[in-house]
Structure formats: C-alpha cells, structure tokens
A and B are shown apart, each in its own frame.
Chain A
Amino acid sequence: MILSGENVSIKNLVATLLGVCLLMISSNTPAELTVEISKSVESNVSIAIVPFGGTQPGENLGSIVAADLHRSGRFKILPDSQMPERPHTPDEVHFDAWKSLGQDNLVIGQVKQTGTDQYSAEFQLFDAVRGTQLVSTSLSFASSDSRRTAHRIADLIYKQLTGEDGAFATRIAYVSVSSADGAKGRRYMLQVADADGYNPQTIVGSPEPIMSPAWSPDGKKIAYVSFENKRSAIYMQNLASKDRQKVSELPGINGAPAWSPDGTQLAMTLSKDGNPEIYIMTLANRSLRRVTDHFAIDTEPTWTKDGSQLVFTSDRGGKPQLYSVSSNGGQPERITYEGDYNARGVFSPDGKSLSLVHGNGGDYRIAVLDIASKQLRVLSSGRLDESPSFAPNGSMILYASQNGKAGLSTVSSNGKVKENLSSSGNEMREPAWSP
C-alpha cells in the first residue's frame, strides 16, 4: 500500500504562504541561493523564534534558527509578523502574550560584539505555557562562523524539544554543474556546503563528469567517481588535507562507492568482468571480493547498519528493484515489489527503513520503505527526483530534483515539509549528507 505524503489542506496552504512571507521578510538570503518552501503541513509543536537583538555579522541568527527548525517538519513556526513583542532578554518577555497565541515554546537571543571579529550569541529557550526557562546558553564565534553558530543553536533547541540530536550543523556534499557555454562547456565540481546549502566549497573540479559522492563514516573523507581521464575511476579524498588517492580504475564501470559502517571497506560497482557487479574492497590492502554474480545490472550498494548485508539495485527480474545480499555473497533476496522502478536504496541511520527512488506511472519520486512492515511511503512530489540521502539524525532526506533546472531538495522524514535549495547559476545533483 502506498501512502501519499501530499495531504495539503487549505489551512495548510495558508500556513505555507505565511511561511514564505516569514522568509521573505526576515531572511537576508544571499543571491547565490534561494530557499523556497513548496510544501508545509501543520506540525504539532508550536514555537516562536524572535529575531535576535544586537548587530549581527550576517543574517539574523534567529531567522536562520527558524528556517532550520521549520525544515525539520517537527515544528510550527510563528511568523515574525504575528509576534506580539520583540524581547531579547528574559526580563523583557511577557509569557501571557505568547501563551494567548497558542505558542508552546519561545526562543529569544541577542548578539554582542566582544572584540575584533569576535561575537557572542546568548539565547534562551522557554516553555511558553509554563513560563519556565528550558535552555540558556552563550556561544562565541567569529563572523565567518555566524551561520554555523545559528545551526548549533537550532541543534540545541531541537535536542531539548525532541530528545533527538539535531543535524543542522552538519554538511552536505553534491555535484555542481555549470554549463555557461552550453553542453560542450560543462564544468563539474564536487562541493561541500552547510546542511542548508550555504558556504559552498569546491573540493575538486573537472570538465568531465563527477558522480556519487560518499562520506566516510568519520566524515573526514569523501569517495567519488570522476571521469577526468575520459573513463570512470573511484577516488578517495581527505577534506582537510585535500590529499586524494585513486581507489579503482579498472576497465569498464568503476562506480557507486559505499563505505562500510566501520570505514574499512568500500563496496562498489565494477564491470571489469563484463557486466556490472557488486564488489567489496578492503581499503587497507585494496583487495577485492565479488559479492554478486548475475548477467543483469547489479549496482548501487548500500550497507546495513551492522555491515552484514548489502542492499543493491538489480534488473535481474526485468525491471530495476532492490535486493539484499550477505556482504559475504550468496543468494540475493528481492525486497521491493511495488511499482515498476525502485533503485538507489540508502538506509536510514537507525537502519529501520530505506529511502529509494520510486518510479511509478512515469514519475520518479523519493520514497521510504519500512523494513519491518514492508510499507512504502512516497515522500516527494516531483517528476524526476533521485539520489536520496538521510540526515545523520534521520529527520530529513536530501535529494536531487528537477524544477526547471537540477537542484537539491529536502523533505522531512515524516513527509510534512519539503524545501528546495537551488543556486542561481549551477545545476546541483547527487547530494550526500555528512555523518
């Protein structure tokens, strides 16, 4: 049974429009990136985040916190325009005013300059109903770390209110493609940015395609596929030192690298023996062992949390579907049956579900398969959605979408909130969320 995640009522549409207004008014969004909320469904926990007081080195920290919490799909954010007051310190708060608006929680804060390019952000989270303080913390930062500081504040609030770790201060990797000179002048760049798409840094660039970035479990390295020698090869690059190593450049396909949970092995697709098969490389000695053996396409391996099994895409049944197999090899078992196209499975951090590309009736969407119940739930609503990747806390899924141009989108794992992150110039594809 397929459960659609698109239950947008009029009430929710109003909430969406208010959300857009909130962002238009309060965010000082850089030209390079636009955040567009395309779907928003009312969430249970209401929270008001007052724009922080004091001179901000960049965008208002409170606005960044509000955008982060909204994207998670777990909160109903009060628009700035409906705020009864703009307190920055605890003694300025009148809880009755917030309580009468139905606000469960309130966040206030202020930024102070403490030295040359030295700032401190002090914030408080209150239970607005009881009028009690839940968190009060001060974080110091340099101006270049202003957005990251806001993400850390969002993490602290998220943790306090949900009991789960936040994932706002994490990073994403993706492939950015510029085509200023048309198809012949394409340039492919592997970039790493903040989880909300800001502060992009180029890790490697090439006139030939770059694909399939995969973070090492410790977050220090990225494995990826590059066609810089006019054929595919898998590389592994250290983000801090930029040092990189070629891992595999065998005849045919070298693709779909996936780190084992302990970081010692890399599963990959190789077609050196004639057609695409799943192999596992032990990184210490570069030895290869073959996992699958079938004349059909076998590709896109992903590891179970305990490393004992792999899930991969195969068209051995005629259409691409997901199969699982022991990481020591053996007889694969089909695990998807619904729809005529299921590919690119990735496990959620808790290992209880798989996100995948689900094709049905000509549309390709991001779905989540619950392993225990085998229930498939379609979360995205595009025509050409692909490359799903879970946030490290499992709360959101990042994926590639097509909205006139290839861009990145996030959807909360409960399907309630969907957002597009897109840069004004380049196409963005194949995202991967850091650990």
Chain B
Amino acid sequence: MKFIQIAALLLIASICASGCSSSGRTKPGGMGSEFGNAGDGSVNGNYGSAGAQSNGYSVDDQSGPLAKRIIYFVYDSNEVQPEYMPIVTNHANYLASNRGKTVVLEGHADERGSPEYNIALGEQRAQSVAKLMKLQGVGEAQIQIVSFGEEKAAVSGHDENAWQQNRRVEINYTEH
C-alpha cells in the first residue's frame, strides 16, 4: 500500500512537472521542488489519513474532509498549488471508493484579458484537477469538465482580492 502511494505521488509529480513546463507555466521553485519536500513523509501520511477519513464521510457533511470544494489558482496558471492538494486528494479518495459518485469540475478565470482565452484557461485548470484525481484512482467516467472562463465570477470587484477568489475550480457532485 505504502509503495503504491509513493509511486502515485512520484507519478503525479512527474506528470505535473512535465505538463507545467511544457505549457511554459512552471514558476521557478514551484511545484516540482515542493512536491519533492512533500514526498518526505508529511503529505504521504496526510494522503493515507485523508483517504481513510473521507471513505467514512458523507459529501454533505459540512465539517468533513469533503466540505472544501474550491481550488484556487495563481494568475494565468493551471498549476494546482501544494496547499490545495489535500482538497483534491480528499475528493479523489472519496470518488475512488464510491464509483457511483460523479463530479463536474467547473473551471473559472478572473476577469482580466480576453473572454475566450479565459475559457481555455478555465478548462486547463479543471483538467489539472481531473488529472490529479485520475492518478489517485478516480474513473474517467466519474469526472466531467466545464469551463465558464470569466463569465461566472464568484465575487464581484475589480481588484486582486476579488480576482484571487475567481480563479478557481469548483468540485460539484452531480449524484449523492
């Protein structure tokens, strides 16, 4: 079990690193190195416990590990930041052990720049989350992706405070 977890982590790290650099969006000192640190054990333990927990929780539990459903992104990036990995993992573990459950990953962008480019960016964000989930055992058929770009802001306002809340992927369960 431990071996599989480590292998999965390495796989995630390598796919992210290659995916991000190939699209030119890897920030210096970004995902690759932080994943390396996380691999030392802390996140590994987290992965295990989160998986064990979420198996026993309901999606509707407001205080459970599935309560957090929004992953935020930095500007013009589709890279899942390390701080949001536990959210992805909690949902991935739940979905992996509940094959009847399905999610729509809704990608969004902030209002800056061109609307159709932002549609593409929102889709890439949702795909990043989907990729991580699939690596953790979620089935292809359990995930649907839609991007709304800048069309459905969560927060109105035209400053970084609003923008950072609008650059997001929402995990929405379609069956309960």
Is the pairing of A and B real? yes
- Write the residues of chain A forming the contact surface with B, with a CB cutoff of 8 angstroms: 183, 186, 188, 209, 211-212, 227, 230-232, 252-253, 255-256, 269, 271, 275-276, 295-297, 299-300, 313, 315-320, 341, 343-344, 357, 359, 364, 383-384, 386-387, 402, 429-430
B119 touches A384 (CB 8 A): no
B23 touches A315 (CB 8 A): yes
Interface string of B121-145 (1 = CB under 8 A from A): 1011001000000000000000001
CB distance from B26 to the nearest CB of A (A): 10
Q: Which of B23, B76, B114, B147 contacts A344 (CB 8 A)?
A: B114
By a CB distance below 8 angstroms, the chain A residues around B76 are 315, 319-320
Cross-chain pair count, CB within 8 angstroms: 103
B154 touches A183 (CB 8 A): yes
- Residue B24 CB within 8 A of the other chain: yes
By a CB distance below 8 angstroms, the chain A residues around B116 are 211-212, 255-256, 269, 299-300, 313, 344
CB distance from B42 to the nearest CB of A (A): 32
> A232-B146, A297-B120, A319-B76 in contact; A183/B153 too (CB < 8 A)?
yes
**Assembled-state Cα–Cα distance A392/B14 (Å):** 50
The 8 closest A-B pairs by CB, nearest first: A318-B24, A209-B151, A343-B114, A344-B114, A297-B120, A256-B116, A276-B120, A343-B117
> Can you spell out 17 A-B residue pairs with CB atoms less than 8 angstroms apart?
A188-B151, A227-B146, A232-B146, A252-B123, A253-B120, A255-B116, A255-B120, A297-B120, A315-B24, A315-B117, A316-B24, A341-B113, A343-B117, A344-B115, A357-B114, A384-B111, A386-B113
By a CB distance below 8 angstroms, the chain B residues around A299 are 116-117, 119-120
- Write the residues of chain B forming the contact surface with A, with a CB cutoff of 8 angstroms: 22-25, 76, 111-117, 119-121, 123-124, 127, 145-149, 151-154, 156, 158
Q: Which of B112, B114, B123 contacts A387 (CB 8 A)?
A: B114
By a CB distance below 8 angstroms, the chain A residues around B113 are 320, 341, 343, 357, 359, 364, 386
**Assembled-state Cα–Cα distance A341/B24 (Å):** 14
| Chain B minimum-CB-distance residue to A231 | B146
By a CB distance below 8 angstroms, the chain B residues around A320 are 76, 113-114, 117
| Chain A minimum-CB-distance residue to B146 | A231
| Chain B minimum-CB-distance residue to A343 | B114
B24 touches A296 (CB 8 A): yes
**Assembled-state Cα–Cα distance A299/B120 (Å):** 8
By a CB distance below 8 angstroms, the chain A residues around B22 are 295
**Assembled-state Cα–Cα distance A230/B149 (Å):** 13
By a CB distance below 8 angstroms, the chain B residues around A183 are 152-154, 156
By a CB distance below 8 angstroms, the chain B residues around A271 are 120, 123
Which one of B23, B24, B117, B123 has the greatest number of beta carbons of chain A within 10 Å? Answer: B117
By a CB distance below 8 angstroms, the chain B residues around A359 are 112-113
Q: Which of A211, A295, A315 contacts B115 (CB 8 A)?
A: A211
CB distance from B103 to the nearest CB of A (A): 14
By a CB distance below 8 angstroms, the chain A residues around B24 are 296, 315-319
By a CB distance below 8 angstroms, the chain A residues around B25 are 318
**Assembled-state Cα–Cα distance A256/B114 (Å):** 11
By a CB distance below 8 angstroms, the chain A residues around B153 are 183
By a CB distance below 8 angstroms, the chain A residues around B149 are 211
By a CB distance below 8 angstroms, the chain B residues around A231 are 146
A212 touches B115 (CB 8 A): yes
| Chain A minimum-CB-distance residue to B158 | A402
